[in-house]
Amino acid sequence: MEAGLKRTALYSVHKAAGARMTEFGGWEMPIEYAGITQEHLAVRTRAGLFDVSHMGEITVRGPRALALLQYVTCNDAARLRERQAQYSAFMYPQGSAVDDCVVHRLGENDYFICVNAANTDKDYEWLVEHNSVGAEVENVSSQYSQLALQGPRAASILGKVTGIDLASIRYYWFSPAECCGVKGLLARTGYTGEDGFEFYFAPEHSEHVWNTLLEAGKDEGLQPAGLGARNTLRLEAGYPLYGHELDEDTTLLEAGLGWICKLDKGEFLGRDVLVRQRTEGLRKKLVGFEMAEPGIARDGYPVWIGGERVGRVTSGSPAPFLKKNIGLAYVPPAAAQPGKEILIEIRQRKARAVQVPLPFYKRPK
């Protein structure tokens, strides 16, 4: 492992549990414990516990907080009620994402934003650079650990270690809460396609909260899960990953995120490009596909239609729950249609794949 990597407060716990570690976003993180497939299936059928303390947290406060967020993000933060969260993105002028993020409204003029680990410094600097209105912007990442408890049994497990009525926290809402005897912020959010919660709290309590949750979930099949399963789960759910589906050269409309771009909220960075694309059309479009022949598509593999190379795979993997090999790719808009065949170049061999609607997986109601 390269020198200079950051570690979460649970590093020694992961090592003691036999986790296989990997570099991710400048952090040394657990990729798997018992195995990616086993952890993936635990989350889909029971529950998994993830250490996601590498994620960044930024606060935006003061009388001009909303004005700053409305200018730098694509979603409409003015629609947020107190204790409500919103999926959004910090924007470049070219209509692409600096990063995708989750904005939480703590109260009037008080916002708490969860951002991607590798982009935390870039995001903070971007907010500061565009803060002509005088909002108070602070990178508070070092003040928080974050654990994600995900899966159909997440609420049942969490109910054993908190006094809060979890049914009162709706999807994409949150509440101040005490879990495992530790005060923090509890959000009904996640990156797996399952019901679940993300708990933000002071890092010095990390081992206690981690161990208490695992003990509480022991009889319900709770497993610790690593970033490997987190990736296959988000892929099945059709969620984008920054650096793969999202980058500075891809607009949010091309990435299929038009639903978070509120073009009617007023001026924001990149809005004019998105308005133009709405009328003139996209340069490329994100599609989902299933392999129709043996082979696993991986990030960067070329996509062919007929004899022409038309795009590239952004994410690809076996899907443990669906028992298929799936992927996401960018193709020309005219070629983007469910049922249409594409070819994925896998080590000099072109393998057939079929476009399918996204998401690949939707949890049962």
Q: What is the CATH number of the domain that holds 187?
A: 3.30.1360.120
Burial profile 109-148: b = 16 or more Cβ within 10 angstroms, e = fewer: ebbbbbbbbbbbeebbebbeebbeeebebebebeebbbbb
Q: Are 157 and 222 spatial neighbours (Cβ–Cβ below 8 Å)?
A: yes
- Residue type at 146 in one-letter notation: Q
Q: Is there a domain that residue 99 lies in?
A: yes
Q: Which of 99, 116, 142 is the last residue of a domain?
A: 142
Segment (H or E) for 232: helix 227-236
Q: Is there a domain that residue 255 lies in?
A: no
Q: pTM for this structure?
A: 0.97
Q: What is the pLDDT along the chain (365 residues), one digit of tens a residue?
A: 667 899 999 999 999 999 999 999 999 999 999 999 999 999 999 999 999 999 999 999 999 999 999 999 999 999 999 999 999 999 999 999 999 999 999 999 999 999 999 999 999 999 999 999 999 999 999 999 999 999 999 999 999 999 999 999 999 999 999 999 999 999 999 999 999 999 999 999 999 999 999 999 999 999 999 999 999 999 999 999 999 999 999 999 999 999 999 999 999 999 999 999 999 999 999 999 999 999 999 999 999 998 999 999 999 999 999 999 999 999 999 999 999 999 999 999 999 999 999 999 999 88
Same domain, 182 and 323: no
Q: Is there a domain that residue 246 lies in?
A: no
Same domain, 138 and 152: no
Residue 312 exposure: Cα atoms within 13 Å on the Cβ side? 7
Same domain, 150 and 220: yes
Domain count, the chain: 3
Q: Which of 142, 161, 180 is the last residue of a domain?
A: 142
- Residue type at 190 in one-letter notation: G
Q: Is there a domain that residue 348 lies in?
A: yes
